[in-house]
Structure 1
Amino acid sequence: MQCEVCGREIIGKPHRVIIEGAKMVTCGECARLGSDYWIPEKKTLQEIKPSLRKTVKSVADIRRESHGGSFSRSIPSEGFEITEGFGLIVKKAREKLGLTPEDLGKKIGEKESVIKKIESEKMVPDFRLATKLERALRIKLLTKPSEPELDKPVSVIEREKTVTLGEIVNLRSGKRRRLKDEGDNSIS
């Protein structure tokens, strides 16, 4: 054991003293710097019991861990998007039901701070949380992403999106011709 003041190895019995309001374990020499001796408090049975409760897991927690996370419903989380403006939608629905962020959090098993972050859109809810919010507030947050137009062949869609070098040259030469036709001799 080392002295908490000088750092040397304590030979013999350690001294428990109070130095400037701090309880410290010191060697014999540094014990003179302190004023009173203190005795470590032993925990009573009542203090030990609440800590034991925290280590016991519920059956749902154990099942969730054995399945590698939260239970997933038959609807896969992939292929869904969160609606734009989800924060305002959640806030309006919550207020319409007369719930505070704390009440909504308790209802769906989340913290109040999580609800506030979602409402301010500082946090985007994952699939599980979005479905909880949808059920509790009776709103729609998850949507399927819009599919690209498949009426036209792919080559036509790609052709409309890209600009070729020939088109750029034609645009520049057309601009120069217009400027010459208007009587402006400067070419930029």
Structure 2
Amino acid sequence: MAQSSSPISAVAERYAGSLFELALQDNSVAKVEADLASFEAMLNDSGDLSRLINSPVFSSEDQARAIAAIADKAGITGLVGNFLRVVARNRRLFAVPGMIKAFRRIAAEHRGEASAEVTSAHALTGAQQTELKAALKGIAGKDVAIAMTVDPSLLGGLIVKMGSRQIDTSLKTKLNSLKLALKEVG
């Protein structure tokens, strides 16, 4: 298990590890990954859902009922549906994004892959993702599972996080560096 840098990441690691063990016993790791990706997409697309999982104002019962309804409506059943209900009852919904990342990393390690989080200014095409995977495989020395996100504020380029390494080739970072350099000169 990876060393945690905060109490939230420690919680996320424990829950993700438990979910992975259950998924492994049930031979449903791929299904769990797909359901978690589906929930993550809903979380990224809905400000209301994000507020629900992060707000301490909602009671654990309200959160559990809402999460159950959302999961049922989205077709998220089985392990992930039950997992989300338990997490809600235990007042740990705030850590779900970290749990999803930790689960992906654990599953990738189990498959003998490295995991990478890639943030780009625009969605990458299939060919670009394939080329990126090949380049990252050369760095990691093994296959790489990529979790893609889009952040238009980057303006261009990529930010790749793989393990404890981060490669930032974003235009936003380059412009900020240039801005700092110009301030030092002026």
TM-score, length-normalised on structure 1?
A: 0.25
Where relative contact order (Cα < 8 A, 6+ residues apart) is larger, the structure is: 2
User: More strand by proportion, 1 or 2?
Assistant: 2
Larger radius of gyration: 1
